[in-house]
Structure formats: C-alpha cells, structure tokens
Structure 1
C-alpha cells in the first residue's frame, strides 16, 4: 500500500482531510439556479494534505461551471490556510529569518515553501510612508531616526510616535536623511492632524521644521542634550592639559548642578536651579559654557515637560519602539525597501494592539488585519498590563 504524505502528528492542522472525492449537490450557481449537472472532476494537490478529486458542476440555465471549495485551503492556492497563518504569526512575534520560517513549516506540516513564497505571504504594499490608523491623535509627538543597512547600503528609518496614544503614527525608510526628506516626512505624516509639541534630539534642522513648517512647539530631548555635553566635558576638559585640576573640578560641580535642572520636580524649581548655575559659569571652559548658554537662550525649549505633564522629557518612547521592533533583524532579513516597510507595518500593528490606548473593538479590528479569524479572547493575553488597566478604566467610565 502506498501512503500519501500528510502533516506530521502534533502539527497545527485543525481540520480533517477531505474525502477522496469532494462534492456538494446543494451548491447554487452564481446566476441563482439550483439546477446543475455533474461535469467531470479535477484533481487538487494541497501541500501537506492527501490529493483529492473535486466534482465540477455545469449550470443547466446559464452554462457556467462551479465546484465546491475545500474547507482548509483557498481556491487556487497550493498551501493550506494553517501554513500561511503560522508563517504570519511567527513573523509578527519573533525575529525568525526566512530560512527559519521554512524550517518551522517543514517540522510542523511536512512542507517547505520557497523563500519567495514566504516573502509574498508576509509582504504587503505599504506605499512610501507606512502610516498607522489611530482613532485619534494627541498632538504630542516624538520624532526620531535610526541608521540601518539594506542589502549592504546605508539607509535611515524615520519614525513619528504619538506619546499619549502609545503608538507610532508613521514610519518611512529612506536612502538619505537630509533636511528636505525629514520635512516631507513630517508634514505628510501630520497632514490634517493636531500638532502641539514635537520632541526631537539635538539636530539643528529640527527646530525650523517643527516651528516653521508644522507651527508647533519644538521640545529638545534633554537626555541626548546632556549626553552630548558630557562627551564634550570628557574629551575637551578632562583629557586636556590646558585646565588645572581645580578648573576640572569646578566644571564637574557646575555640570552636576546643571544636570539637576532637568530633574527638578517643577518648573519654578528648575528655573531657580538654573539661575544658581548661571552665577557660576563665568570661569567655565567654553565646551561646558556653550551648553549652559544654549539653555539660557531658550529655557522653555528644554523644560516644557515641567510645565505640561503630558510632554515627555526625552525621546525614550521612540527609542523603546525601535528596540522592541528589533531593528538589527530588519537589516539581516530584507534586501529591499519594500520588504523592510512591510515588516514595519506588521510591527506597527502589533505594537498598536499591545500598547496603544485604543478600545477593545479597535484593537480587535487592527489585529484582524493580520489574522482575520482571531477573536478578542486570543488578543487579551497579548496586551500589556498598562493597556489592560486603560481598558479597565474605560469600562468604569462607561458604567
């Protein structure tokens, strides 16, 4: 006896094999007629399942032909739904390479789709900008960018993040990060959306784009600002022979007091601390004094988070999003901008569902973009504790 290849025991298969001949005499033609004759059969060979014969019918009214579908595979597809579904799940929640996705299919289903086939399953057309679809936008955003390589070439990942909604607004992968490119990305991503404050790192171009092109308040991330200042202090003061130990000690003390300005519990307290620092900068090395003077020229640009509790003090939300979406794997897995952006779209959806402050209904709708048959009972365990508390508070408000 010849044994037909089937999926291994313990696979993710959820439906029994169809009988050797698949027929359904209750089918109705597209014209609405129930009158039809049998019109031969044809074979289907779904990967991982036994081959079957499918009955074809011819309508006695319009002459059209039709046949029943198999319960576990779409018409004209080679691979069952369960294979494609598992590939999309693993791709969405892990860093598996295309080869590892092939290995998983081999172990669970006894089939090995080509890397091109898997790429087609997990890739979708996103357009130049990968845009999220949030029910509302807070107007409080963080912009950041990340260097990466695609097929060995330098590229940049641009990100706009809604700090209060806890979800990305838009992403784009570009070859260069010139001022015009950043301006086009931000103005396009924020078109017809409220914009009040945008937090960025210290690149000089950002202030003009945010204030002039977006008409918003530009807030500097104090983490990057202080990090760059400490680098200057270390390289140009501590390692220099131009300054005495007493001068280096003085610079260290003043810099420590300067850092405490940004950690103040309130805006008035920060202002008082900063005034105390200004009394001591006369004999500071230029490398340190420049940073203090920059804050002096526009104190609110660095301290708006102390006036408005909704404004984040740093760009950490964007940094965490980069780290959670495994940027290092993006470089390794894809060779095209389209592949990277499709991956980012998937990660954007998952992140929005797990972390974003959107309703249960919206969360389920977003997850069904990836997995059409998923139910809310399967989504709830994916949510962060913060997201669950948010939904609980919504339930209380609704009574």
Structure 2
C-alpha cells in the first residue's frame, strides 16, 4: 500500500473539525493559550455584519467565536429582538443574533456595544449627535430637545440629554508635537448654582489652541501656580501674556517665563487712573489738554520699532519728568519704570502676544455670557466647554 501524505486544510485549522491537536499537540496548546492571553482588538472581535430584511435590522458577527473558551465551534441559537433609536433612521426594529458554543455550552449574543449600550435603546450615534448639538446650541437643553424632535420624531427628556452631556469625555489625543511655548493666560468668572467660580485657561498663541482648561472655586495664588505648573510641564517655557492682576507676575516669572502684560488692559488701566484724577480734581481746560497730550505721548511708546527705541524715548521723558502733570508722573514712576520690561517684552521677541484678545475670543465662543450664569455644577460647565472646543477644532480642521 502506498504511503500518502494528507495535508491539513490550513484555512480551517481553528475550526472544531480540524483541531491542531490532531496534527501537532504542542502547537495546539500554544495557539489556545495565545488566544486567551492576547488583548482583544475591538476592530477585529466586534466586527459586525448588518443588513435590512423586511424592515428588520439584522446584526451578527463576521467571525463568531466563544468568549469563554475561544472556540470557533459555535452555532446560531435564535435571535433577540430589540428596538433601537438612530438619529437619521429613527426607530428601528432589530434582531440580534444569538449563539451557542458546541465545546463548552456557553450561550451568548452578538456584541453590539459599538452600536448601542446594553442599558439603552439610543444608539451611540444618536447620543453623539445630541452632544454635538449641545456644542452648536451652546448647551441649551430646550433647543436640543426641540431639534431632536423635529429631526427624528423622537421625544427625549431633558434630563436624559443632560446626562449625555455630563458623560462627555474629552477625546484622548496623543500630543506628538510640543506646544510653541508662547501662551496667553486668563481667568473667566463662571456662576455655578449661584456662586462665582473661576475658569482658568491657557492658550497657545502660535498654534491657536487651548492648552488647558479648568474650573476652580477660588482664584488664589496656590491654584494659579498649580494650574500653570501642570499645564506647562515638559513643554517649552518662553512667554506668557496676561492681564494686570498682581498675583500673576511672581508666579509666571517663578516658572521661568517672560511675562508680558496685555496692552489692552494697560491702556484701560492708564485711562482709568487719569479719569479718576480728573474726577477728583478741578482742572482747567489747558490742564485737561496737557494731560491728554501727555497720555498720547505715553501711548506712542508702544508703537516703538524696537525695545531700544522705547527705552531711549522713555529716558527722554524721564529727563523732563518734572514738566509732566502729577497723574502722568505717577503712572510713569510707579508703574512704567519699575516694570518696563513687562510692558515691552513683545519688542524683544515678536512672537510674544501683545494682548489676551485671542483667549478672550475663545471664552466668548466656548462659554459666552448667555450661559455662564445658568450652570449648576462644575461637571456640566466643563462638559459644555469641552464639547464646544471640540466642535471649534473640527471646524478649524475642515476650513483648513
């Protein structure tokens, strides 16, 4: 009798009918242990086969295997009926394929967690669309519920929508590139349940993105130090532009940043001091005109072409300081001179932002005044802020 070699069907080695142990016991044990130990890949194990038949949405796995013993020797074992809500399709009657393992006897159903949670009839796509509406409508639950009803015919309670918003998590993105090192720092007041809180934000002025965003109950030096330190850890530290709050300067410089005061706030502060001086003193028209001219001379310093030019012009003013009005003398000697570099750092490095306007605009876009007084809890406020930021980032990518 002739000896004949029979080849194992390679593409069916994992099938119950062709166990590896029939051909190589050691290899069979290795493959079985390997299947149990490897980390599951959702894109592989949760790949689904879906189709419509007579208005019924059928769902089954592309490759069925037992989640208990990892055997592929499974058979179909009926279906489970379920009603699902999709944003575009509306209410859908679904049949989810059930299975039974011939090896260990375990019964299980098709894993549809990528489509819908076990404890919900609303699909993940439906929830994501509603959260997106929260960003577009700036968090108005009434408007979101109205839009959903109009688009889908499905009524969703406001509390359910609020729960979806509260459950929003910031998409985790790997930061491959370092931030520029040029930042704007500012604080926005937010009223939560009747009490004022403070939204700290750090903005990369070159990449035009919010680097960090957090809400604190107190705007004190400890929280500011913690926020800036954590937000810039392992990042470039070059410069931070901020308003004139006296708490910021020692913290920013202590973290080895160059500190630049926002020129908008600088001009506003100078005008305020002059206005208060005029209000508290009886001045003639000539005196008022002199103060106005002196103020314009001070403002013109900020149009200097270089730091050296600004310093030279300041020295010229100092040589004639006694000829200036008392209020202008006070502004120069008590403010401009002691912190000259903090006013004019942007002349030493053109990448340093002169104002905090970019971050102020982000505040208005992500959490405007219309809703900053109606939030109840910190989680709700931060969820809406993060949703809005994600929407703006998507728009930015699309426009680019």
TM-score interval (norm. to shorter): 0.7 to 0.9
Query: Which has the higher mean CA deviation after the structures are superposed, 15-24 or 102-111?
Result: 15-24
Q: Which residue of 2 aligns with 1:231?
A: 272
Q: Is the 8 A contact 2:259 2:345 kept in 1?
A: no
Matching of residues 216-365 of structure 1 within 5 Å? 216-237=257-278, 239-293=279-333, 294-331=335-372, 334-352=375-393, 354=395
Partners of 2:286 and 2:54 in 1: CA distance: 86
- Structure ranking higher in strand proportion: 2
TM-score calculated relative to the size of structure 1: 0.76
User: Which of 132, 145, 167 is the equivalent residue of 1:102?
Assistant: 145
Q: Is the 8 A contact 2:178 2:236 kept in 1?
A: no
Q: What are structure 2's unaligned runs of at least 5 residues?
A: 1-50
Q: Which residue of 1 aligns with 2:100?
A: 58
Which whole-Å deviations, capped at 9, do the CAs of 1:318-363 have from their partners, x for residues lacking one? 11211222332442563110111122223333444555xxxxxxxx
Distance 1:25 1:328, change over 3 A: closer
Which whole-Å deviations, capped at 9, do the CAs of 1:67-109 have from their partners, x for residues lacking one? 3467994252311344223213222333251121111111111
SS at match of 1:51: strand
SS at match of 2:155: coil
Q: Is the 8 A contact 2:186 2:202 kept in 1?
A: yes
Larger of the two Rg values belongs to structure: 2
Partners of 2:322 and 2:65 in 1: CA distance: 90
Q: Which residue of 1 aligns with 2:82?
A: 44
Q: What are structure 1's unaligned runs of at least 5 residues?
A: 1-14, 356-378, 389-399
Partners of 1:39 and 1:70 in 2: CA distance: 17
Distance 1:72 1:271, change over 3 A: closer
Q: Which residue of 2 aligns with 1:113?
A: 156
Distance 1:317 1:240, change over 3 A: same
SS at match of 1:89: helix
Partners of 2:179 and 2:386 in 1: CA distance: 18
Q: Which residue of 1 aligns with 2:209?
A: 167
Partners of 2:91 and 2:111 in 1: CA distance: 15
Does residue 185 of structure 1 match 2:227?
Answer: yes
SS at match of 1:344: helix
TM-score calculated relative to the size of structure 2: 0.75
Which whole-Å deviations, capped at 9, do the CAs of 1:242-273 have from their partners, x for residues lacking one? 33322222111111110011122333332343
Which whole-Å deviations, capped at 9, do the CAs of 1:22-75 have from their partners, x for residues lacking one? 375975123444444443443212234243444422111122223346799425
Q: Is the 8 A contact 1:266 1:307 kept in 2?
A: yes
Partners of 2:263 and 2:341 in 1: CA distance: 12
Does residue 79 of structure 1 match 2:122?
Answer: yes
SS at match of 1:49: strand
Deviation of 1:279 after TM superposition, in Å, equals 4.3
Partners of 1:121 and 1:23 in 2: CA distance: 25
Paired positions, count: 341
Partners of 1:41 and 1:275 in 2: CA distance: 87
Q: Is the 8 A contact 1:22 1:52 kept in 2?
A: yes
